[in-house]
Structure 1
Amino acid sequence: MRQILVIAASVLLTGITNGCVFQDRSGCPAYLSLDFSGTQDEVSDIHLVIRQEDGHIYRDTLHKDEFRNVYELPVRRGKVDLAAFGNIDRMAFDDGFLIEQGNDADNLFTFFLSATYDQDLSFDTVTLRKDFTGLHIRIAGEQHDSLEISIECNSVGYGLDGKIIEGRFIHYPESSFIDDGNMHYYDFFSRITRQMDTSLTLTVSSCSGARATVAVIPLSGYLSEAGIDMESAGISDLFLTFDISRSSLVISTESWTSTEHINITI
């Protein structure tokens, strides 16, 4: 009987040694769980992109009703770049997401993480942030002025590591002429990404008769003067009021009517 027990124990030990308990697991995947439950209500879907150490890229899309569930996937052990892009609409994927020529940025929320996963089970929380600036631009003028604007800069999107992608951005937003009885003005709206340099420029043109440039405004410099860091994360929308006749620019991060604003002579 003792001999049988010794043989059985030997077989069991051999099985454990050759199995998953004691074997080298460096070639086995790590299982990653991601929590999206804190995602903002403004986000309708998330494009998840995972780049692994060997260059392999995994992509998936999560819809709003999936955010409350824990998302699980196997990844190769080692360094992983994880990027989540919320509300992708017109921006195009190219080792990150970029603004296509002629468009402005999407209503973009992002999350970026570089981590090393070498345990069997790992867990991370994905917390997205607003990663675009809405430029609400108001220019005083009469209807016969036929004003148009263009917005230009050198920042066109984000890579999978969260760094700003350099490129030529130029957008001609549509205008709407407003006559509220007391004031006449043109309203414009455009979205831009965080800025990598001081190239952000607003050009105002009149199309009444021959097209003519009315003003070229180096916005980066004036925003910096107003204490606004265009490289910072989660930046607020900007409300800009430009009065050509007075050469004045009013900047607010709250609204058109906010008393918290900065007046700049240009």
Structure 2
Amino acid sequence: MTDKVHLRAPVKIYDDGWVDVELVVTDSSLVIGKRNISLREIEDLEDVEIEGVNCIQIKKESKIVLQLPKNLHHQVFKYIAFNLKADKFAVFFLSSATVGGVVSSDAQWEKGYFSVTDEGFWFLSARNQKRIPIENLGSVKTDLRNVGGKQRKVLVLSHVEKSNVVTSLVLCPESTLEMLEGYLQRLFEKHKPAIKLSEDEMQILTLIYSGLDFASIENIAGMSTDELNSYYDRLVDSGLAKVVKIRKEIELTPHGVSMVDKISKR
């Protein structure tokens, strides 16, 4: 039986420069030029920007970057997100229930799927296809929340978006909930930086999160430039921060932001 063709369109593929090819989307595969890729072999999917252009990046062993006509970008992204290689669970979810500790007024429960790949998890519904990289996950736990006037057990996911700690909720049968919690905990532990912070390092991490620059932190912490540099090196080497200026100005990675969130609750 021949696969049904859902879409056929000219696209560009990035290969040390843009190359014009044809994309054919069928029930079970993407045909990109002469390359046939089974949807079930696609390991992950991301929206990325290449040379100022919004593109779709597909991971299948290596990464494939596609530039689509603007009117087709979301349609193709949504189709791949729903059909790639992932464990998918029917749930209700409340994406970004809180942002930076503040309840999000426009967040609404949606019926859809919670989808998990090796490198991220997805909230999927007709209007929402949102990917959270596992490295942005801060914590996973179950808790009782008021849902529709009843106390229900939900999965509470804390993750980082644009340097804010965001909380999202997942509601499904309790047996599925417990399985999801264990599954995500294992993935989280696998990706978590192996570092135990000293009191000085926790203070520095919190000061960076508050937006202070190197000189200000140097003064507040009462450290010499060399001392603070050595702490910065350790935070960068451990994956909690990354260098953003030559003079060792750093900003926190999602792991670092999550660490500050935990420190603030101590």
TM-score interval, normalised by the smaller of the two chains: under 0.3
Structure with higher helix content: 2
More relative contact order, 1 or 2 (CA 8 Å, 6+ apart): 1
Per the normalisation by structure 1, the TM-score is 0.26
Per the normalisation by structure 2, the TM-score is 0.26
